[in-house]
Structure 1
Amino acid sequence: MVSYCDNDAATEPQSESETELGGSRSVAVAFSRSRSVAVAFSRSRSVDLADLLFRIIWLIGFNGKYEIGALHRSGSPTFLVLKPIEGNSDILLIGYLRGGTTFTGEILGLREGNFYMYEPLHKWSTWDYYKPGYSCSLENEHCTMSTRTDSFVMDILRGLYKCDSNHLLKSLQMWQLLKGRGFRDSIQNPTWANYFPECHGKVEGCIEKVISRCANATARVSKVPRVSVSLAAQLLNSVPNLKIIHLVRDPRAIMASRHALKWTPAPGGSISLCNKMKEDYLESYMMRTTHPGRLLTVFYEDLVTNPAKTVQMMFDFAGYNFDEKEQNRLKNMTGMTTKNILNSETRGTSLRIALAWRKRVNETFLNVMNPGCNDLYKFLGYPPLKTNIDLYNSSIPLRISN
């Protein structure tokens, strides 16, 4: 027997399931269009009600995502209505290779209770990114039209946020899981086991054990620098708990970091980068109207110059609590040394790293890069830098208001 309750719409349930639970003669679950869940069950008097409710929530896999909205115990069966917990949104972090996404992803993804997925599209694309209808090179302006790319990418990302084990196994390799726990060395370093207590030091079967934690996580976070904002926006209708954070950084800083690694050399790489950044920023601006409250633009320069304020903004957007434990974690990550990080203006290690790019490049670098990106600097609020004097002038801020 399946009973169904939906106070928001007089519709049939979208899906139902029924199972047996120890001490309970029957348990039925129904999902409404409003994302509420109604559970109807009959039980023997010998079973503690609180224990039964706890076991039901875990059984149907909603722990950390739902809370008890109503409980009706008159008559039989008993009705339990579970409502989605406000806040604790899943987050898709979109940015650019060497644009600060690793640092920002760890701030969001390594929060206690979150499940962090590191660059799940890496397996399918190293030097390309995806936008609606196209696969585009990170090394030049070339884009290839494709009728299958959109559905392929969306299926992967949608599957990840729904904790589909097949998509998780296909997308995440062991090195990505290591990074997803904040471990920056390889599996050859035996200390990796300290980050994966569920694996007991054994690599075999570890991936399966890790991804099994996805469904019961407080929230899921992924950093995906190989997808455009416009393509990612298509996920918002099918993943209602998802929000997007778009991370922007000075393209000259990004290219300086890539140059040191011999990645995507200018001018081809810089033109590709600035084209994507412009399209992403324009799309994010339009999304404020089409998807209000679902996208937040964050500037990396704001994150490193005022980390506490910027992280507080991101956590508020995601519905996360920026408590003392998270403040201390941020303090360790940024190298800040003051006692009260919330009121701190101290410039720590993260800022020194963010400023270092200006000392690693010269006027020749700017002359190669600027033609493809000049219009973007003013658009995003970055100062014009044309000479070595400009580069070494510490009074010129990382970013000016746009």
Structure 2
Amino acid sequence: MTRSAQCFMVKHRNRMKMFLVLAAILSAVVILINHVLAVDQKTSVVILAYMRSGSSFTGNIIQMNPEVFYVFEPLYTYAHLSNQSSLDALQYSKTYEMTLENILLCRLPEINADTLNQHHMIDSLDTMNYYYCTKANVQNSKKCVYLLEKACLRSRVSCLKTIRYSMKNMTHLLEKHGNMKIIHLIRDPRPTLLSQQKLQEFNFDSLGKFAAMLCNRAKVDFDDSLLMKKQFPGRIATIRYEDLAEMPVNMATQMYNFIGLDFTDENRDHIRSITTRNSNCGAYCSSRNSTEKVSLWRKSLPYMQVSLIDKICHPLYRAMGYLPAQSQDHLLNMSVPLYTTVPTESSVMNYR
């Protein structure tokens, strides 16, 4: 081969290398642009709730839509670590916010490994495959993150539910992201506390303390939401669990309208199937005879304890339409509900 031919071949190889590099860069730019566009057009939803308030049931209704990417309790690990750490509340608040933001914006590779490997990853349809992938790749679970990222990017709505964040702390995220919305779920504190006690979160000697913690927190979140609804009109909806359980199709339709999703006949049939089934599926069951479950607690919680909760939680009752039990007979008279019409400012319809 002549010298000129050799020079031509070298130049040709160099051009090919440069072409391949440019093609790779262009491909990466296209992927990045598509990612930005996908995230920019995506609606983000946070279900803000309290332990044993029906949030798993609510999340299940939303995640059944194929256009939704849903994550169950992503702050679980951090909440447990915060009880054993010297980090101050502000540092953890920033970490919580960053974790929520990374999930909702599909920045899954940036999330702490402990969070990604927590056992709650099995509790969502969209994270279940990832969970099993990590079990099969214990030494290199990061290789499974692409499953989460792919599921998130292809969805039109990213949603998570948490019992470990406050309404006020959501302000900064709402300011940063115009497509972010909040569903604030509140349940009657009496069955909520009974359910917490059954899971041994506390014993009944501490009922007054835990009732005050729950009801004060829920009332503060509610009051903050009233102010925030003025600042962020159309982006915060308050839902009472009892209404969702009594009228699941009606309330699910309202939730879907709020989020911007179509409520189909298939969605309606699915909701009817999970709210009329009589099944015993454990503590985190999301299939139930929902109408019956609303008042079942009245047969299990003694009147003295109900009366104590009624007294402590009166401000929350007034805001959310819950009624105190006037006597043992009143408590056990299942034909008389212990809640009434929700005040206008508490209604899911009042998000506009």
TM-score, normalised via structure 2 length: 0.75
Q: 1:212 aligns with which of 124, 127, 149?
A: 149
- Give the match's secondary structure for 1:237: helix
Change (3 A) 1:153 1:59: closer
Pair 1:271-2:212 in alignment: yes
Which residue of the partner structure matches residue 285 of structure 2? none
* 8 A Cα contact 1:110 1:182, kept in partner: no
- Work out the CA distance in 1 between the residues paired with 2:134 and 2:74: 24
Q: 1: distance between equivalents of 2:27 and 2:111?
A: 29
Quote how far apart the aligned CAs of 1:367 are: 3.3
1:315–1:20 distance in 2 versus 1, CA, 3 Å = farther
Deviation at 1:296, TM superposition (A): 0.4
1:89 alignment counterpart: 43
Equivalences for residues 33-72 of structure 1 within 5 A: 60-62=33-35, 65=38
**DSSP-derived class of the 1:399 partner:** coil
Q: Does the 8 Å contact 1:161/1:239 carry over to 2?
A: no
Compute the displacement of 1:162 (Å): 1.9
**8 A Cα contact 2:72 2:120, kept in partner:** yes
Q: Establish whether residue 176 from structure 1 lines up as the match of residue 120 from structure 2.
A: yes
* Structure 2 counterparts to residues 3-402 of structure 1, below 5 A: 60-62=33-35, 65=38, 85=41, 89-126=43-80, 146-164=89-107, 165-167=109-111, 169-181=113-125, 196=129, 203-204=136-137, 205=141, 207-213=144-150, 214-265=152-203, 266-335=207-276, 349-401=289-341, 402=343
1:296-349 CA-partner distances (Å, limit 9, x unpaired): 001111101111110011000000110122112212221279xxxxxxxxxx81
* Closer, same or farther: CA 64–148 of 1 in aligned 2, 3 Å: closer
Q: Distance in 1 between matches of 2:213 and 2:225?
A: 18
Q: Partner letter of residue 111 of structure 2?
A: H
**Aligned equivalents of 1:398 and 1:334: distance in 2?**
21
Q: What is the one-letter code of the residue matched to 1:223?
A: K
Q: Of Structure 1 and Structure 2, which has the larger fraction of its residues in strand?
A: 1
Question: 1:62 touches 1:216 (CA, 8 Å); kept in 2?
Answer: no
Question: 1:102 & 1:182 partners in 2: Cα distance?
Answer: 14
Deviates more, 1:210-219 or 1:252-261: 210-219
Taking structure 1 as reference, are residues 127 and 262 closer, same or farther at Cα in structure 2, changes over 3 Å only? Answer: farther
What is the number of residues matched between the two proteins? 301
Deviates more, 1:292-301 or 1:351-360: 351-360
Matched letter for residue 396 of structure 1: V
Distance 1:198 1:302, change over 3 A: closer
Structure 2 unaligned segments of length 5 or more: list them: 1-20, 279-287, 344-352
> What's the secondary structure of 1:384's corresponding residue?
coil
Larger RCO (CA under 8 A, 6+ residues apart): 2
Secondary structure of the residue that 1:91 maps to in structure 2? Answer: strand
5+ residue gaps in structure 1? Answer: 1-18, 30-55, 67-83, 129-134, 136-143, 184-194, 338-347
- 1:395 alignment partner AA: S
Q: Following the alignment from structure 2 to structure 1, what is the Cα–Cα distance between the partners of residues 53 and 131?
A: 32
Tell me by how many angstroms 1:395 deviates.
Answer: 2.5
Distance 1:149 1:272, change over 3 A: same
How far apart are the structure 2 equivalents of 1:262 and 1:180? 25
The amino acid that maps onto 1:112 is: P
Moved more, 378-387 or 240-249: 378-387
* Cα distance in 2 between the residues matched to 1:198 and 1:268: 37
Per the TM alignment, residue 173 of structure 1 is displaced from its structure 2 partner at its CA by: 2.6
Q: Quick check: 1:278–1:376 contact (8 Å CA) kept in 2?
A: yes
* Displacement after TM superposition at 1:269 (Å): 0.8
| Larger helix fraction of residues | 2
Q: How big is the shift at 1:109?
A: 2.5
Inter-partner Cα distance in structure 1 for 2:335 and 2:81: 36
Question: Does the CA contact (< 8 Å) of 2:310 and 2:324 recur in 1?
Answer: no
1:168 is displaced (CA, Å) by 6.0
Residue type of the alignment partner of 1:212: E
Counterpart residue type for residue 119 of structure 1: E
Contact 2:130 2:147 in 1 (8 A): no
CA contact (8 A) 1:243 1:295 kept: yes
